[in-house]
Amino acid sequence: MTQCYRGAMMAAEYFPVPLKKIVVDSVPNFDLFIRQKDRYVLYRKAKIRFEHQALNNLMDNRIDSLYVSKRDLELYERYREEVRQGQEEIYGKQGFDGRFVDPVEVERYHDILDNYHVVDHAMFKPGVEVDFKVFYHEETDVLPAEDFESKLRGPWELTVPFAPTREIMIRNEDKTAYRDFVKGVLDEAMGGPPKQQAAALREMSKIVIKDVLADPRSGEGIKQTDEAVGSLVEFILDNETSFYSLMKIQGHDYYTYVHSMNVCTFSVALGTAMGLPKKPDLEWLGLGAMLHDVGKSMVDSRLINKPGRLTEEEFKMMKDHVQMGYNTLKEHHNLPEKVLEPVAQHHEKLTGIGYPHGLKDSDIGLFGRISSIVDIYDALTTERSYKKAFSPFEALSFLSKTRDDYDKDILNQFIVMLGKQMEKETAAK
């Protein structure tokens, strides 16, 4: 019986159901289908619990509608009726994973993202003087980090940095003071242990790319980003086996500047593993990867961190970040076309299902291919307001399920590279 569901069926036999109508942890008693081009393919048989993982997978594949056979219309309507009765209260506020989302909390969360900058505690040695205030970030709150500050200012016997379990932030208006402070740490770290250097380089890159995101037209911003990328490339070439220290995971939230920095680091490391020369390839690849999401600064920040599913209209606006980023860089800066490749192509897929142009196969360049793998890997392994982070293993198994979208050789190299890094990390513990 089920067999005949697979394969091409007439569109008239199915009706679309927006994903948000299928409630997490419910058990729909009808089959669910997905549409692939003009075919309807059985996605989930009836009476299987629709768990978080299913929702995450669909969302990561940018699927926002499922289909139900018209024969099951009555079953579907009864299901919706039950859901409405049982969940009327939270229905209007259901976040993507079905968790309750309070609009006031959402507003506070956005305020924090707009007004604070996340910093790495590894920058702070006990007893160091700082002329800015530090805060702890706790979900939708920021609290003065008094105990942390007292360790900075007061006499302290430890000589290693202390690691608070909470994310540390500074106010945006203190960014210049923090930048000067990081510069001092960076100068001190040069020639020191690679881990210290990595942390300082990472902090510096986060600041410069954040400035570019705030004003992508600024020539000074691009110049400083280019310099920061140059230092990262040097570091990765000198420390090929320990570049992973640049990827130190901090915090739980998604910040475009942290993501940009991660995509740059992974891309350069992957390019290095593939044997690309430093000049101009690695430097251009690194700069393009750092700038790849610059167009996000032109999309409403409320959309980027919206704790819920994007509507079709919102998703369209979100997709515009590619073209807007590319156009702005092209118009205001004289950058080689190769640098712009990760910007233009990081959401394209070899199968032609990507955006903005639905490019296929050889239309997608080497830098586009590298950045598309790295971009999705970093997105999957970062926690978002609507989903838990995937472990590296889960992210790689997800990528291998959709491997036709990516360059096989590059994906294999990426897996090998991550495997080596993880081995090293485990050995170091």
Biggest CA–CA distance in the chain, Å, is: 75
We find the least distance from the C-beta atom of residue 289 to Fe ion, in angstroms, to be: 9
Going by DSSP bridges, is the β-strand pair 39-44/65-69 parallel, antiparallel, or unpaired? unpaired
We find the least distance from the C-beta atom of residue 298 to Fe ion, in angstroms, to be: 12
List strand residue ranges (DSSP E) for 202-327, in order.
none
Of 173, 179, 178, 232, give the one whose Cα is nearest residue 202: 232
Give the burial string for 279-288 (b: 16+ CB within 10 Å, else e).
Answer: eebbbbbbbb
Backbone angles phi, psi at 169, to 5 degrees: -130, 160
We find the least distance from the C-beta atom of residue 322 to Fe ion, in angstroms, to be: 6
We find the least distance from the C-beta atom of residue 74 to Fe ion, in angstroms, to be: 42
- Residue whose CB is less far from Fe ion, 203 or 293: 293
- Residue whose CB is less far from Fe ion, 117 or 296: 296
- Residue whose CB is less far from Fe ion, 201 or 374: 374
We find the least distance from the C-beta atom of residue 319 to Fe ion, in angstroms, to be: 9
We find the least distance from the C-beta atom of residue 293 to Fe ion, in angstroms, to be: 4
Give the burial string for 105-141 (b: 16+ CB within 10 Å, else e).
Answer: ebeebbebbeebbbbbbbbbbbeeebeeebbbbeeee
Q: Which residues contact 35 (CB under 8 A, 6 or more apart)?
A: 14, 16, 41, 65, 67
Helices 312-332 + 337-345 axis angle, to 10? 180
We find the least distance from the C-beta atom of residue 126 to Fe ion, in angstroms, to be: 36
Integer Cα distance of 351 and 404 in angstroms: 7
We find the least distance from the C-beta atom of residue 343 to Fe ion, in angstroms, to be: 9
We find the least distance from the C-beta atom of residue 267 to Fe ion, in angstroms, to be: 11
- Residue whose CB is less far from Fe ion, 120 or 375: 375
- Residue whose CB is less far from Fe ion, 28 or 288: 288
Q: For residue 273, give Cα distances in angstroms to 77, 138, 236, 243, 282.
A: 54, 38, 10, 11, 11
Structure token pair of residue 123 = 């920058």
Cβ atoms of residues 119 and 178 within 8 Å = yes
Q: What is the contact surface with Fe ion in residues (CB under 5 A)?
A: 293, 375
- Residue whose CB is less far from Fe ion, 186 or 299: 299
Structure token pair of residue 129 = 């003087």
Helices (H), ranges, 274-336 = 283-290, 301-304, 312-332
Q: Which residue has the tokens 């003065």?
A: 144
- Residue whose CB is less far from Fe ion, 28 or 342: 342
Structure token pair of residue 175 = 């960014």
Cβ atoms of residues 211 and 221 within 8 Å = yes
- Residue whose CB is less far from Fe ion, 97 or 348: 348
Of 49, 57, 58, give the one whose Cα is nearest residue 25: 49
- Residue whose CB is less far from Fe ion, 97 or 375: 375
